[in-house]
Amino acid sequence: MSPTPDAIAALRTPEGSSALAAAAAAAGGDPLTAASALRTAGIAPGLAAAALTQVELRARAVDKFGSDAAGMWFTRTGLEQATRAVVARRRATRLAAAGATHVADLGCGIGSDTIAFARAGLRVTAVDVDATTASIAAANVADLGLTDLATVRHAAAADVDLRTVDAAFADPARRGGGRRVFNPAAYAPPWTYVMSIVDAVQRTVLKVAPGIDHALVPNGAEAEWVSVDGDVVEATLWCGPLANVARRATLLSGAGSVELVGTGTAVAPVGPIGGYVYDPDGAVVRAHLVAEFAGTVDGRLGDASIAYVYADAPMHTRYARGYQVLDAMPFSLKRLRAELRARDVGRVTIKKRGSAIEPQQLRRDLQLRGHAELTVILTRVAGAPTVVLCSPVPPSGSPARC
């Protein structure tokens, strides 16, 4: 059950704080036992349910918000759709560095970006069309001590007077009826209104789905794809003076951040399989920067339409996962099974691009019983179905022992 504004308000009282403490102490076990423990402690059922929900959501939110999660408020949908704190901080820092002072956060959700903007020293006018979501964002801003810079209200994006700000950030809702929405015309607000923001505010930043059609990127805008620890989490359009390049792939991890930039139109050379194969990060692929990546490892594609990059020497790279090629052959289930059994392989990691083969079915069909482990890549080379047997290259870039 999604928390209501009244439930959040009740949890912010001294009685609510006691309920949260009791819920935290009872969490981690059977939900019915936890609920019973709160009833035994004399906590009203409605308050107990709200407290248990928040404790659960806060635990899940640590991956996105770190230590802030313990003092924030969430709905299930709001947490799922919220920008990760590391991504929001980076966006806010870049916007502040570009000279912005007052940003409109249009569709603020539970307030992740609003919080980051305020912490970067920007004034923020934040709105959300959903009353519950807006109330939770307001509570987050207040409880994190940011009300001197950020205000949140329940309103539609179109209700904000954009003449009062010098920057705008829009994160249109991409869900309807509990399902993902892929047609930008069905975004809320719709794409036509989102584009009007670009015309109205010189410094405009748009958060969009990673699968956005490149044809929808406004002329002159920079399109950036962001991954965190290898998972592509969003695409961002930087408009007006915020645009520095045509395409950018930003990879964030515990080791820091790296960026790859280019036009998105470069063409990589095509050639034979080499001694190493690289699987580019999803942000690199989504940004159409595979050719630029191939240049960093002196690599080539085995097929012009497949984003695996082959090279003749191992190179350390944070843009891709590298593998040492042990063998490659036209795909044949019988031959593949025989080859893996000859290598005493019992466990395989199956990766694929450009192949219609279902990995789970292939795993069953192989009927492996050995002790070794290999990576099997299903792909095409020069248009022909191909299987590549390989082993991961350690992060140092040195080949593994085989």
What the block records as the tokens of 71 is 């003092």
37 — pLDDT class (breaks 50, 70, 90): confident
Bigger pLDDT: 39 vs 380: 380
Do 313 and 298 contact (CB within 8 A), yes or no? yes
Q: Is the dihedral of CA 197, 201, 207, 211 positive or negative?
A: positive
Q: Of the ranges 1-5, 196-200, 237-241, 394-398, which one carries the lowest mean pLDDT score?
A: 394-398
Q: What does the DSSP 8-state code read for residue 270?
A: B
What letter represents residue 238's amino acid? W
Q: For the chain, how are helix, strand and coil distributed in percent, rounded to 5? A: 40, 25, 35
| b (16+ CB within 10 A) / e for 60-77 | ebeebbeebbeebbbbeb
Query: What is the model's pTM?
Result: 0.90
Alpha helices in 41-129 (DSSP H): 45-65, 76-81, 85-97, 112-119
- What phi and psi values does residue 83 have, to the nearest 5 degrees? -65, 135
What the block records as the tokens of 144 is 């994190």
Do 320 and 282 contact (CB within 8 A), yes or no? no
What the block records as the tokens of 11 is 């949890």
Q: What's the rounded Cα separation, in Å, for the pair 184 and 203?
A: 21
Q: What's the rounded Cα separation, in Å, for the pair 139 and 72?
A: 8
179 — pLDDT class (breaks 50, 70, 90): low
Residue 30: CB atoms within 10 Å = 9
Q: Strands, DSSP E only, in 217-275?
A: 222-228, 231-238, 247-253, 256-262
Q: What does the DSSP 8-state code read for residue 160?
A: S
Most confident of 39-48, 173-182, 293-302: 293-302
Residue 25: CB atoms within 10 Å = 13
What Cα–Cα distance (Å) separates residue 209 from each residue in 83, 234, 263, 367?
12, 6, 20, 39
SS3 143: helix
399 — pLDDT class (breaks 50, 70, 90): very low
C-alpha closest to that of 237 among 264, 280, 198? 198
**Any bridge partners for residue 261, and if so which?**
248
Do 379 and 390 contact (CB within 8 A), yes or no? no
Per-residue pLDDT, 402: 31
Per-residue pLDDT, 378: 98
pLDDT tens-digit profile of 154-175? 999 999 999 999 999 998 876 6
What the block records as the tokens of 200 is 């109205």
Q: Who contacts 281 (Cβ-Cβ below 8 Å, separation ≥6)?
A: 227, 230, 232, 249, 251, 319, 320, 321
Per-residue pLDDT, 173: 74
Q: Is the dihedral of CA 98, 157, 159, 148 positive or negative?
A: negative
Q: What's the rounded Cα separation, in Å, for the pair 385 and 328?
A: 11
Bigger pLDDT: 401 vs 321: 321
Q: Who contacts 399 (Cβ-Cβ below 8 Å, separation ≥6)?
A: 276, 314, 324, 393
What the block records as the tokens of 78 is 């709001």
- What phi and psi values does residue 145 have, to the nearest 5 degrees? 70, 40
If residue 312 lies in a helix (H) or strand (E), which one and from where to where?
A: none
> What rounded mean pLDDT belongs to the chain?
92
pLDDT tens-digit profile of 63-114? 999 999 999 999 999 999 999 999 999 999 999 999 999 999 999 999 999 9
324 — pLDDT class (breaks 50, 70, 90): very high
Q: What's the rounded Cα separation, in Å, for the pair 217 and 389?
A: 38
The fraction of the chain above a pLDDT of 70, given in percent, is 95
Per-residue pLDDT, 34: 76
Do 146 and 72 contact (CB within 8 A), yes or no? no
Do 205 and 169 contact (CB within 8 A), yes or no? yes
Per-residue pLDDT, 32: 75
Q: Is the dihedral of CA 269, 272, 275, 278 positive or negative?
A: positive
Q: What's the rounded Cα separation, in Å, for the pair 271 and 251?
A: 27
